[in-house]
Amino acid sequence: MAAFPGFEWDVVGNGQAWPFPEEADNMHQTWLREPATGHYRLDVFREPHRGDHWICRRDASIGMPYGDLILRTDDGIPYVIPEVVLLFKAKAPRPKDQSDFLQALPVMDSTRRSRLAGWLSRVHPGHPWLELLST
């Protein structure tokens, strides 16, 4: 939290926002707000973990070391591996989530596709993306 002096964190969910840490145990999404404008500048999902091992909040049998979960661009910008992003988007896919899936699919190697398929089978059995992941 101290990494962003002059900004404030809000916990958000169900169409509401609370000052951090209110509701932090019940909601997973946290937004960084610029107090002067009220604009949100950063969206952070807080996930369960054990040490340096991420645990999926939807199924505790799904997890991996943060070193495998977070990749970096050539410029050093961190990002979450595509199969984890898509796993969360799969819960209630909107048109933009479907588009993200279709754009990510051709660049995902067989290991990533297989991992996502396995996770979807556990968390969202019968999900329509499973058919496309197996082709």
Residues 35 and 59 placed together within one structural domain of the fold: no
Residues 22 and 55 placed together within one structural domain of the fold: no
Question: For the segment 17-44, what is each residue's pLDDT rounded down to a tens digit?
Answer: 999 988 888 888 999 999 999 999 999 8
Question: What residues make up the domain containing 94?
Answer: 49-133
- Assigned domain for 2 exists: no
Residues 57 and 40 placed together within one structural domain of the fold: no
Rounded CA separation 31/35 (Å): 12
Residues 34 and 54 placed together within one structural domain of the fold: no
Q: What is the pLDDT of residue 67?
A: 94
* Residue 1's pLDDT band (cuts 50, 70, 90): low
Please check the confidence at residue 8 and state whether its pLDDT lies above 80. Answer: yes
DSSP collapsed to 3 states, 37-90: CCCEEEEEECCCEECCEEECCCCCCCEEEHHHHEEECCCCCEEECHHHHHHHHC
Residues 41 and 56 placed together within one structural domain of the fold: no
Average pLDDT value for residue range 69-89: 94
Please check the confidence at residue 47 and state whether its pLDDT lies above 90. Answer: no
- Predicted TM-score (pTM) of the model is 0.81
